[in-house]
Amino acid sequence: MEEQKLPLEDLRVVELGTLLAGPFSGRMLADFGAEVIKVEPPGKSDPMRNWGKSKDGIGLWWPIQSRNKKSITLNLREEKGQGILKELVKETDIIIENFRPGTMEKWNLSYEELSAINPRLIMVRTSGFGQTGPYKNRAGFGSVGEAMGGLRNVTGFEDRPPSRIGVSVGDTLAALFATIGCLVAVHERNHSGKGQVVDTALYESVFSIMESLIPDYLLAGYVRERMGNILPGVAPSNIYFTKDRTYIVIGANSDGVFTRLCEAMGNPGLAEDERFSTHYARGENMKLIDSIIEEWTKSMDAQEALEILAEKGVPSGLIYTAKEILEDPHYKEREMILKVDHPDLGEFPMPGIVPKLSRTPGRVKEAGAEKMGKHNMEIYSGMLGMKEEELETLQKENII
């Protein structure tokens, strides 16, 4: 049976970035069929190849981050390498880069130069602070974006310093916004026939999800601070200890859901108590209502409590580790743990594809290429028509 065509199969992407933000955009486009050509300098791999835990000397993050991508080596610091990229640009829809602003210009690879070769080219540029403004030349990792975007200040507990979320959320948010911008630019190009620059800053990507942080301050005189597991004025919404010494999350802050929670706890009259009967009252009496709920959850094991809550339609859940994720039948049914063949590690588990399209869903065809330059011949010889002797010379000159 012939495989379903993927929705982005008509797009060719050249990914020049390293580490997280740029390559995560490439991964998302590749998941839906774009031909993504990952470029690394010869002899100097993307550091992501060695990040995270490893098995048999192989990094376990790389096969996920670089899945579905083709791998080539190319030295963009040299004029010959720049010339080869310009040849690639003639047949490319999208360039992804996440270098410090000015780097592409220094390499004679500015958008102006590349779009003169291919006016339909879209350049996706992700950096700490964007391509303009007084901070544009500053180095900026995701951690700095999280800090200056406002997220770190509201993360953690009020009696402790600002905390990091356990994943690289700043980079990932920037990648998500960059990918949205990229697809918007592709859609617009269908009408205008022209490419453009997609300029995404890490700090702006974080700041954009900070809800009412600014009007809270300017219009209500309120500075959001670290609040641990609660939301100011919103209750009940917290984690609760159980008899088997674990925690469950319960979110029952709307009136209807709170009524169902009270029924689940066998105390329906609690919903009529004036201390808890309205959203405002529950916010004012947050500590008291949380203590009442935890007395109930501590009387039973987590799974027993969750079954009762689910039956009553109260949003709740166990706090998962990798173990619980792997054991959960819903993850399995939704194909959120994929197993992909890896040439050295065999069956390799990785996260499934998000979002899920009903008619043209994405697909993971292969794990990230373990060998740098695995697709050099395919791209340089097959696509650009270079001869074998020419490639040998370029390799000796450290261009590829």
Active site residues: 171
Residue 392 burial (C-beta neighbours within 10 Å; 0-12, 13-18, 19+):
exposed
Contact 298, 242 (CB under 8 A): yes
Residue 110 burial (C-beta neighbours within 10 Å; 0-12, 13-18, 19+):
middle
Q: Give the integer Cα–Cα distance in Å for 382 and 178.
A: 30
Q: Both tokens of residue 235? A: 């209750």
Backbone angles phi, psi at 53, to 5 degrees: -70, 160
Contact 364, 340 (CB under 8 A): yes
Cis peptide before 236 (omega within 30 of 0): yes
Sign of the CA dihedral 171, 91, 355, 67? Answer: negative
Q: Give the integer Cα–Cα distance in Å for 317 and 205.
A: 28
How far, CA to CA in Å, does 165 sit from each of 156, 354, 363? Answer: 9, 21, 29
Contact 300, 242 (CB under 8 A): yes
CB atoms under 10 Å from CB of 202, counted, come to 30
